[in-house]
């Protein structure tokens, strides 16, 4: 055993020629059809309809969704490569599209056939916008401590509660919402359930958009659910199992956030290298100075390590090695986003004064990466997952 993993073979990463061809075609498309919209979109806080339409036409919105539900049936590695490439060009767009997986995973894993047929295809095709409403004003890391309530009355549930920091919150058509259906029993996590809620259901309210330091074109909102009557058939899976479904959802989506970190890091490395080549100081290009070379060398090393971790986590998911994939995904999420932050700081430093101006697009990467370190489980929480899962696998103890 290569603690906490089974054996050396666990560390193999399976990237095919098709994955690389896919990356190249996506990069070409994004640079041609999406890049021109980034600056204006970030200024105005929106992603223009024409960008979303071109993404849909390329079939990229539902890359991770099975073909039978309107998606492309891509593996996790393809999703990761796509996310990395989109983030390299426009992190806010990656944040918006990442919610397709967050919304779909619990329905695909635990939903009824009717729920899958009704809610997944329009989301996979980009006709409807999804959101996952889990975090509450009183706490996001401690999902079991949530306060929202759902009370069963005959053939429906009535949901009351507040959710905060919800990506796509103000523009979504469909929400997956967590709420407590019974008090915690012997375990704090018990008694939470998961529902599909439609925006048009009376009592669903967008309290307001939340301005964030980065991901400016991604719509982040606070929501209120006031006496929202949801048909009982919109319960996902079993009543009381929503916490487990939420954890499974994050396990499946974390390689995507790691890939967002990679995309930011890649953009920063490219910017720092090209600036170091073209900018001169003391009659020589910056790249000729060893302290600048060191920053680039360290960045190239760290991004490569982060990429290996991220592709490896995706490979473990694709191989169905669930327990190991959970640990690897948390490692990849925290490592890739922390490395990206370091690389962006070096890129800013190499750009000198221009690094802190808004015109070069380098400072935006720093604002964006700070959010990626927090959402879908703050990096401290990723470290808790790594240590807890390891203790469970190696020592058989619960921490």
Ligand X SMILES: Cc1cc2nc3c(=O)[nH]c(=O)nc-3n(C[C@H](O)[C@H](O)[C@H](O)COP(=O)(O)OP(=O)(O)OC[C@H]3O[C@@H](n4cnc5c(N)ncnc54)[C@H](O)[C@@H]3O)c2cc1C
Q: Does residue 112 contact residue 233 with C-beta atoms inside 8 Å?
A: yes
- 334 is a contact residue toward ligand X (CB under 6 A): no
Q: Does 208 bind ligand X (CB under 6 A)?
A: no
Q: Per CB under 6 A, does 219 bind ligand X?
A: no
Q: Answer yes or no: are the C-beta atoms of 277 and 287 closer than 8 Å.
A: yes
> 13 vs 384, which CB is nearer to ligand X?
384
Q: Of residues 93, 105, 150, 166, which one binds ligand X by CB under 6 A?
A: 166
List 42, 84, 338, 376, catalytic entry? 376
Which residue bears the tokens 């990206």?
A: 340
Distances from the Cα of 193 to the Cα of 143, 147, 163, 181, angstroms: 12, 12, 15, 6
Options 149, 374, 387, 391; binder of ligand X; rule CB under 6 A: 374
Q: How far is CA 170 from CA 42, 131, 137, 182, 208, in A?
A: 17, 9, 16, 28, 7
Binding window for ligand X (CB under 6 A); candidates: 63-71, 296-304, 322-330, 372-380: 372-380
Of 115, 129, 167, 266, the one binding ligand X (CB under 6 A) is 167
Residue 20 vs 380, nearer CB to ligand X:
380
64 binds ligand X (CB under 6 A): no
Nearest alpha-carbon partner for 349 in 246, 397, 279: 279
Residue 380 sits in the site that holds ligand X (CB under 6 A):
yes
C-beta of residue 197 within 8 angstroms of C-beta of residue 225: yes
CB 294, min distance to ligand X, A: 30
Give the one residue of 201, 207, 247, 378 binding ligand X; rule: CB under 6 A.
378
Q: Is 9 a catalytic residue?
A: no
Q: Does 165 bind ligand X (CB under 6 A)?
A: yes
Both tokens assigned to 41: 């979109």
In angstroms, give the least distance from the CB of 376 to ligand X: 6
Place of tokens 């507040």: 162
Piece of the chain touching ligand X by CB under 6 A; list 75-83, 138-146, 198-206, 349-357? 138-146
**Residue 57, interface with ligand X (CB under 6 A)?**
no
Considering only CA atoms, which of 350, 344, 377, 375 is closest in space to residue 362? Answer: 344
Q: How far is the CB of 164 from ligand X (least distance, A)?
A: 7
Alpha carbon distance 294, 290 (integer Å): 6
Residues 298-317 that bind ligand X (CB under 6 A): none
By beta-carbon distance, which residue lies closest to ligand X? Answer: 140
CB of 383 to ligand X, least distance (A): 8
62 binds ligand X (CB under 6 A): no
Window contacting ligand X (CB under 6 A); options: 40-48, 263-271, 297-305, 376-384: 376-384
Q: Is 176 in the site for ligand X (CB under 6 A)?
A: no
Residues acting as catalytic residues: 376
Q: Which residues bind ligand X (CB under 6 A)?
A: 132-135, 139-142, 165-167, 212, 215, 220, 371, 374-378, 380-381, 384
């Amino acid at each position: 055993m290569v603690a906490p993993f089974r054996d050396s073979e666990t560390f193999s990463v399976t990237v095919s020629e098709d994955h690389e061809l896919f990356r190249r075609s996506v990069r070409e498309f994004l640079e041609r059809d999406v890049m021109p919209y980034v600056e204006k979109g970030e200024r105005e806080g929106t992603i223009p309809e024409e960008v979303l339409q071109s993404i849909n036409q390329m079939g990229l919105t539902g890359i991770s969704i099975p073909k039978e539900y309107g998606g492309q049936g891509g593996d996790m590695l393809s999703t990761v490569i796509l996310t990395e490439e989109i983030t390299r060009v426009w992190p806010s767009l990656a944040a918006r599209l990442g919610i397709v997986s967050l919304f779909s995973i619990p329905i695909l894993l635990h939903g009824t056939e009717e729920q899958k047929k009704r809610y997944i295809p329009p989301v996979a095709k980009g006709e409807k916008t999804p959101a996952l409403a889990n975090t509450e004003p009183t706490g996001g890391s401690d999902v079991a401590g949530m306060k929202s309530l759902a009370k069963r009355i005959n053939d429906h549930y009535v949901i009351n509660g507040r959710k905060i920091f919800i990506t796509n919150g103000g523009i979504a058509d469909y929400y997956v919402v967590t709420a407590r259906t019974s008090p915690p029993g012997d375990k704090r996590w018990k008694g939470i359930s998961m529902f599909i809620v439609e925006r048009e259901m009376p009592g669903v309210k967008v309290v307001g958009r939340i301005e964030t330091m980065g991901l400016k074109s991604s719509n982040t909102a606070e929501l209120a659910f006031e006496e929202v009557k949801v048909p009982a058939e919109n319960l996902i899976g079993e009543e009381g199992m929503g916490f487990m479904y939420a954890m499974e959802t994050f396990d499946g989506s974390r390689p995507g956030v790691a890939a967002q970190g990679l995309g930011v890091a890649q953009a920063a490395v490219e910017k720092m290298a090209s600036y170091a080549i073209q900018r001169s100081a003391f009659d020589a290009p910056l790249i000729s100075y060893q302290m600048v070379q060191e920053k680039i060398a360290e960045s190239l090393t760290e991004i490569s390590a982060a990429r290996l971790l991220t592709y490896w986590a995706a490979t473990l998911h694709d191989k169905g090695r669930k327990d190991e994939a959970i640990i690897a995904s948390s490692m990849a999420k925290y490592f890739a986003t922390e490395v990206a932050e370091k690389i962006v700081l070096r890129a800013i430093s190499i750009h000198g004064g221009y690094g802190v101006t808004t015109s070069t697009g380098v400072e935006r990467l720093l604002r964006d990466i700070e959010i990626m370190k927090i959402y879908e489980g703050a990096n401290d929480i990723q470290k808790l997952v790594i240590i807890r899962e390891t203790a469970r696998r190696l020592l058989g103890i619960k921490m």
